[in-house]
Amino acid sequence: MTRIAFIGAGSTIFMKNIVGDVLHFPALEGATFALMDINEQRLEESALVARKLISASGRSAQVETTTDQRRALAGADFVVTAFQIGGYEPSTVIDFDIPKQYGLRQTIGDTLGVGGIMRGLRTVPHLWRVAADMAELCPNATMLQYVNPMAINTWALAERYPHVKQVGLCHSVQNTVQELAHDLDLSQDEFRYRVAGVNHVAFFLDLTHKGQSLYPALREGYRNGSLPKPPLLMSRCANNVRYEVMEHLGYFCTESSEHLAEYVPWFIKSGRTDLIDHFSVPLDEYPKRCIEQMADWADQAKAYRTADQIDFEKSHEFAAEIMNAMVTNQPYTIYGNLPNRGQAPQLPNGSAVEVPCLVDANGIQPTVVDDIPPQLVALMRTQINVQELVVRALVDEDIEHVYHAAMMDPHTAAELDLRQIRSLVSDLLAAHGDMLPEFARLKKAA
C-alpha cells in the first residue's frame, strides 16, 4: 500500500486538499498518511480532518501522527513538504518590517527580493535534512515539494542531494488559467496552453481556445479597459500588473500581479504612489493574509471538530495526480520545477526551471521547451541571478553571496544603493539569529 508522508502536516487546509485528492483515486486505496509536524495541536487537528475525510469518502486509508520526521519518512513512497520555517512571527514580520525602515516595500516576500532570500536561507537547510533522511529511510521515494521559495529550494536540493527524487510543485499555472477563463467568460476546460520559465516568472507561450489564440482578446480587453475584471481568487488584489507586463513583453505571466510586482523594478518605487494606485499594488499583502488566516483558523478548526463528516471536492493540485500516474503507469502531464538538464536550453544549466512534465511509472520526465522569446529569457535571467547566488551562499557557506544576491535583486537594486543594501541585509541576518544556518548568523548590534 502507498505510504504518503506529510512533513508540515499542520498546514491543515493544504493537507486537507491533498488527502482529499488522494481519496479520489481507486489505485491509492488503502494508503497510509503519515502526518508529521512539530506543533502538536495543529497535528492533532490535521489528523482529525484527515480521518473525517476518509470516513466521508468511504475508502480505506490509515492516518498516523508523529512529531518525529524520521518516523514519518520510514518506508514512504511519496513525501509532501509544506512548512514555513520561522512562521509569521517572528520571521515574516522581520522580513517586512526591517526593509520598510529602509524605504523598501514588498507585497508577498516569499520568492525573490530580500524576503525571498531570507526565506530561502531559513528553508533550504531543513529541506536538506528531509532529503538526508529520505536517502537513508526511503531512497526510492519522490519528494513533492510545495515550499517557497520554490526555485531556490529545488536548485539547492539538486546541488546537495542530486540522487533524491524531487519536484517543486506550484498552483500558479492552474490559478492563472482559472482567472483568464473568468476574465474572458470561457470554459477553462477548453483552453490549451504551453508554459515555460522559472517558477512564478513563467509565461504562457501558447494560449488558445478552440484553436484560436486568446492573446488578441486579452490585449484588446486591456486596452479598452474591460480587462482585467475584478479578481476571482483574491478580491483585493487586482490583476493590473500582469496585463501591463503582457502589453509590453507580449506574453502573460503565470503568477499573480501581487507577486510579479515585486519581482521587477517597474511598479513599486519610492515617491511613486501614482504607480501603486494605478496598478493597485497591494503592499504588505502577505502579512495581512497571515493575520486573517490566523484569525479565521480558530473558527475553521471548531467547525471541523464538530462536523460529523467533512465534504470535499478534488482540488487542482498536482500531488495526487502524480502519485496516481506513478502507481498506475497512466500518463499525466503536470507543470513541475526541476533542475535544468537541457529541458530549457536557453536558461542556465542547473537552474530550477518550470516546464511541462510527463508523469508515469518512470517518474517525472520534463519535456524540452527551446523557443522562449528573448525578452522573456532576459527577464527570467534576472530572477535566476538572485536564485543562483542564494544557492551558492548555502552550498558554499559564503555569507558574502547573501549580500550579492540582494544587490542583484531587481526591485531592491532599483530602490537602494550598495551600502544601504549591505546594511539592510546585515540587519535582517542579525534579526533572524539562530533561525539561519550558522554561517549566516550575525550578532545584533548593541
For 323-352, the pLDDT digits (tens) are 999 999 999 999 999 999 999 999 999 999
Active centre residues (catalytic) = 171
Task: Please state, for a pLDDT cut of 90, what percent of the chain lies above it.
Answer: 91
Closest listed residue to residue 283, CA positions, set 97, 139, 40, 129: 97
Residue 271: pLDDT over 70 = yes
Residue 182, CA distances (Å) to 112, 119, 145, 187, 208 in order: 28, 33, 29, 8, 15
Closest listed residue to residue 19, CA positions, set 317, 330, 327, 325: 317
Q: What is the pLDDT of residues 296-313, one digit of tens each?
A: 888 888 888 888 888 889
What pLDDT does residue 309 have? 84
* Cell triple for 346: 536557453
Average pLDDT, the chain: 96
Asked if omega into 374 is within 30° of 0 (cis), the reply is: no
What pLDDT does residue 294 have? 86
Q: What is the pLDDT of residues 372-413, one digit of tens each?
A: 999 999 999 999 999 999 999 999 999 999 999 999 999 999
Number of Cβ within a 10 Å radius of residue 303:
10
Residue 446: pLDDT over 50 = no
b/e burial code for range 256-275 (CB count within 10 A of at least 16 → b): bbbbbbbbbebbbeeeeeee
Are 117 and 133 within 8 A, CB to CB? no
Residue stretches of the annotated binding site for substrate: 148
Quote the pTM value: 0.96
The stretch 355-362 carries a mean pLDDT of: 98
Residue stretches of the annotated binding site: 148, 170, 200
The stretch 63-78 carries a mean pLDDT of: 98
Task: Please state, for a pLDDT cut of 70, what percent of the chain lies above it.
Answer: 99
Residue 337, CA distances (Å) to 155, 167, 201 in order: 9, 6, 12
What crossing angle do the helices spanning 93-101 and 418-432 adopt, rounded to 10°? 150
Give the dihedral of Cα atoms 170, 174, 176, 181; nearest 10 deg: -170
Sequence-ordered list of residues with C-beta below 8 angstroms from that of 24, at least 6 positions apart, any chain? 314, 320
The stretch 185-190 carries a mean pLDDT of: 95
Tell how many helices (H) and how many strands (E) occur in the chain. Answer: 17, 12
- Position 84 confidence tier, pLDDT thresholds 50, 70, 90: very high
The stretch 428-439 carries a mean pLDDT of: 97
What pLDDT does residue 298 have? 81
Residue stretches of the annotated binding site for Mn(2+): 170, 200
Distance between CA atoms of residues 63 and 400, nearest Å = 45
Residue 200, CA distances (Å) to 104, 174, 261, 337, 428 in order: 21, 12, 11, 11, 24
What pLDDT does residue 235 have? 82
- Position 445 confidence tier, pLDDT thresholds 50, 70, 90: low
What are the helix (H) ranges across 229-343?
240-249, 257-260, 273-278, 285-306, 319-328
Coil, strand or helix at 297: helix
The stretch 308-323 carries a mean pLDDT of: 93
Are 218 and 240 within 8 A, CB to CB? no
The stretch 282-306 carries a mean pLDDT of: 90
Residue 179: pLDDT over 60 = yes
